[in-house]
Protein backbone atom coordinates (compact mmCIF):
# COMPACT_ATOMS: atom_id res chain seq x y z
CA UNK A 1 0.00 0.00 0.00
CA UNK A 2 2.92 2.33 0.65
CA UNK A 3 5.03 2.98 -2.42
CA UNK A 4 8.35 4.62 -1.63
CA UNK A 5 10.22 4.44 -4.91
CA UNK A 6 13.53 6.14 -4.17
CA UNK A 7 13.62 5.22 -0.48
CA UNK A 8 15.49 2.22 0.90
CA UNK A 9 13.88 -0.14 3.43
CA UNK A 10 15.65 1.50 6.38
CA UNK A 11 14.51 4.96 5.25
CA UNK A 12 10.95 3.67 4.82
CA UNK A 13 10.94 2.35 8.39
CA UNK A 14 12.37 5.57 9.81
CA UNK A 15 9.81 7.66 7.93
CA UNK A 16 6.83 5.57 9.05
CA UNK A 17 8.06 5.43 12.66
CA UNK A 18 8.15 9.23 12.70
CA UNK A 19 4.63 9.38 11.25
CA UNK A 20 3.32 6.89 13.83
CA UNK A 21 5.02 8.77 16.66
CA UNK A 22 2.95 11.89 15.88
CA UNK A 23 -0.23 10.10 16.93
CA UNK A 24 1.22 7.91 19.74
CA UNK A 25 0.18 10.32 22.55
CA UNK A 26 -3.44 10.14 21.37
CA UNK A 27 -3.88 6.60 20.01
CA UNK A 28 -1.08 4.64 21.67
CA UNK A 29 1.99 3.15 20.05
CA UNK A 30 1.82 1.38 16.72
CA UNK A 31 2.35 -2.38 16.69
CA UNK A 32 1.46 -5.41 14.59
CA UNK A 33 -2.27 -4.88 15.23
CA UNK A 34 -2.29 -1.11 14.74
CA UNK A 35 -2.43 1.58 17.42
CA UNK A 36 -2.77 0.26 20.98
CA UNK A 37 -5.27 2.83 22.38
CA UNK A 38 -7.26 3.65 19.26
CA UNK A 39 -10.98 4.41 19.81
CA UNK A 40 -13.27 1.56 18.73
CA UNK A 41 -14.78 3.66 15.92
CA UNK A 42 -11.33 4.06 14.29
CA UNK A 43 -10.05 0.47 14.42
CA UNK A 44 -9.62 0.45 10.65
CA UNK A 45 -7.59 3.67 10.26
CA UNK A 46 -4.60 3.55 7.93
CA UNK A 47 -1.72 5.98 7.58
CA UNK A 48 -0.36 6.03 4.06
CA UNK A 49 2.34 8.02 2.31
CA UNK A 50 1.04 8.89 -1.16
CA UNK A 51 3.66 9.72 -3.77
CA UNK A 52 3.33 12.75 -6.02
CA UNK A 53 6.03 13.08 -8.66
CA UNK A 54 7.37 16.48 -9.55
CA UNK A 55 10.14 17.49 -11.92
CA UNK A 56 13.43 16.08 -10.57
CA UNK A 57 11.83 15.05 -7.28
CA UNK A 58 8.55 14.62 -5.54
CA UNK A 59 6.51 14.52 -2.38
CA UNK A 60 5.08 11.86 -0.13
CA UNK A 61 1.92 13.31 1.40
CA UNK A 62 0.62 11.72 4.57
CA UNK A 63 -2.96 10.50 4.12
CA UNK A 64 -5.11 9.19 6.95
CA UNK A 65 -7.95 7.01 5.74
CA UNK A 66 -10.67 5.00 7.43
CA UNK A 67 -13.60 3.01 6.04
CA UNK A 68 -16.88 1.75 7.47
CA UNK A 69 -19.10 -0.85 5.71
CA UNK A 70 -22.63 0.37 4.97
CA UNK A 71 -25.77 -1.06 3.39
CA UNK A 72 -26.31 1.66 0.79
CA UNK A 73 -24.89 1.38 -2.69
CA UNK A 74 -24.61 5.02 -3.71
CA UNK A 75 -21.73 7.13 -4.92
CA UNK A 76 -21.13 10.63 -3.62
CA UNK A 77 -18.43 12.79 -2.05
CA UNK A 78 -18.54 15.35 0.73
CA UNK A 79 -15.68 17.85 0.82
CA UNK A 80 -14.46 20.31 3.41
CA UNK A 81 -14.06 23.92 2.39
CA UNK A 82 -11.62 25.30 4.91
CA UNK A 83 -10.88 28.93 5.57
CA UNK A 84 -9.11 30.54 8.49
CA UNK A 85 -12.31 31.91 10.03
CA UNK A 86 -14.80 29.24 9.07
CA UNK A 87 -15.07 25.74 7.67
CA UNK A 88 -18.01 24.12 5.94
CA UNK A 89 -18.79 20.69 4.51
CA UNK A 90 -20.54 20.59 1.12
CA UNK A 91 -21.54 18.22 -1.67
CA UNK A 92 -23.08 18.35 -5.12
CA UNK A 93 -24.99 15.14 -4.45
CA UNK A 94 -28.72 15.05 -3.75
CA UNK A 95 -28.46 11.86 -1.72
CA UNK A 96 -30.46 12.02 1.53
CA UNK A 97 -27.66 10.23 3.42
CA UNK A 98 -25.04 12.71 2.19
CA UNK A 99 -27.29 15.66 3.09
CA UNK A 100 -27.91 14.20 6.55
CA UNK A 101 -24.19 13.72 7.19
CA UNK A 102 -23.44 17.27 6.02
CA UNK A 103 -26.12 18.68 8.28
CA UNK A 104 -24.74 16.85 11.31
CA UNK A 105 -21.14 17.85 10.54
CA UNK A 106 -22.01 21.50 9.92
CA UNK A 107 -23.99 21.68 13.18
CA UNK A 108 -20.94 20.50 15.15
CA UNK A 109 -19.56 23.99 15.86
CA UNK A 110 -16.51 22.86 17.84
CA UNK A 111 -15.46 20.47 15.06
CA UNK A 112 -15.72 23.20 12.42
CA UNK A 113 -13.77 25.63 14.60
CA UNK A 114 -10.98 23.07 15.18
CA UNK A 115 -10.82 22.12 11.47
CA UNK A 116 -10.38 25.81 10.59
CA UNK A 117 -7.23 25.83 12.74
CA UNK A 118 -5.63 22.82 10.99
CA UNK A 119 -3.64 23.15 7.77
CA UNK A 120 -5.22 20.55 5.47
CA UNK A 121 -4.54 19.80 1.83
CA UNK A 122 -7.76 17.80 1.55
CA UNK A 123 -10.53 16.25 3.62
CA UNK A 124 -13.38 14.30 2.11
CA UNK A 125 -15.96 11.71 3.02
CA UNK A 126 -17.16 9.50 0.21
CA UNK A 127 -19.48 6.58 -0.31
CA UNK A 128 -18.88 3.97 -2.96
CA UNK A 129 -19.27 0.22 -3.25
CA UNK A 130 -20.91 -0.29 0.15
CA UNK A 131 -18.22 1.64 2.00
CA UNK A 132 -18.19 5.00 3.74
CA UNK A 133 -14.64 6.39 3.54
CA UNK A 134 -12.86 9.26 5.27
CA UNK A 135 -9.65 10.61 3.70
CA UNK A 136 -7.64 13.36 5.37
CA UNK A 137 -4.43 14.82 3.94
CA UNK A 138 -2.75 17.30 6.29
CA UNK A 139 0.07 19.64 5.35
CA UNK A 140 3.11 18.08 6.88
CA UNK A 141 3.88 14.63 8.12
CA UNK A 142 5.21 13.48 4.78
CA UNK A 143 8.51 13.61 2.99
CA UNK A 144 10.01 15.45 0.02
CA UNK A 145 12.89 14.32 -2.14
CA UNK A 146 15.15 15.43 -4.96
CA UNK A 147 16.67 12.99 -7.43
CA UNK A 148 19.85 14.99 -8.14
CA UNK A 149 21.50 15.49 -5.74
CA UNK A 150 19.78 12.72 -3.81
CA UNK A 151 18.18 14.55 -0.90
CA UNK A 152 15.36 13.34 1.33
CA UNK A 153 13.72 15.62 3.87
CA UNK A 154 11.03 14.78 6.43
CA UNK A 155 8.30 17.45 6.43
CA UNK A 156 7.35 17.82 10.10
CA UNK A 157 3.76 18.14 11.19
CA UNK A 158 3.06 21.19 13.39
CA UNK A 159 2.87 19.87 16.97
CA UNK A 160 -0.07 22.08 17.90
CA UNK A 161 -2.14 20.59 15.06
CA UNK A 162 -1.58 16.88 15.72
CA UNK A 163 -3.93 16.72 18.72
CA UNK A 164 -6.56 18.75 16.91
CA UNK A 165 -6.35 16.46 13.89
CA UNK A 166 -6.63 13.31 16.03
CA UNK A 167 -9.64 14.74 17.90
CA UNK A 168 -11.35 15.80 14.64
CA UNK A 169 -10.90 12.36 13.08
CA UNK A 170 -12.33 10.74 16.23
CA UNK A 171 -15.41 13.02 16.12
CA UNK A 172 -16.06 12.29 12.45
CA UNK A 173 -15.52 8.58 13.17
CA UNK A 174 -18.24 8.68 15.86
CA UNK A 175 -20.67 10.07 13.29
CA UNK A 176 -19.70 7.53 10.62
CA UNK A 177 -20.30 4.55 12.96
CA UNK A 178 -23.99 5.57 13.11
CA UNK A 179 -24.29 4.65 9.43
CA UNK A 180 -22.29 1.43 9.70
CA UNK A 181 -23.96 -1.95 9.08
Residues 150-167: tens digit of each pLDDT: 787 888 889 999 999 999
Please report whether residue 3 resides in a domain.
no
Q: How many CB atoms lie within 10 A of CB 38?
A: 20
Reported as a pLDDT band with limits 50, 70 and 90, residue 8 is: low
How far is Cα 108 from Cα 73, in angstroms, rounded to an integer? 26
Give the domain extent around 84. 9-177
Residue 2 placed within a domain: no
Q: Is residue 21 part of a domain?
A: yes
Residue 74 burial (CB count, 10 A): 14
- Quote the number of domains for the chain: 1
The model's confidence at residue 1, banded by pLDDT at 50, 70 and 90, is very low
Assign 168 a pLDDT band (cuts: 50, 70, 90). Answer: very high
Domain for residue 4, yes or no? no
Mean pLDDT of the chain: 86
What's the CA gap between 143 and 128, in Å, rounded?
30
Q: Across residues 12-37, what is the average pLDDT?
A: 85
Give the CB-side neighbour count of residue 77, counting CA atoms within 13 A.
7
- Domain membership of residue 81 (yes or no) is yes
Amino acid sequence: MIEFGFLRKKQQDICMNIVYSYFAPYWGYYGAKGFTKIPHNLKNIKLILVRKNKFMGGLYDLQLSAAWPVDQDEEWTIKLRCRRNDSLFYTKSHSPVAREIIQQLNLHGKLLKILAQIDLLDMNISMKSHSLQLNVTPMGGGMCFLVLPPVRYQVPMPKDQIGKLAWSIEQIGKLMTKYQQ
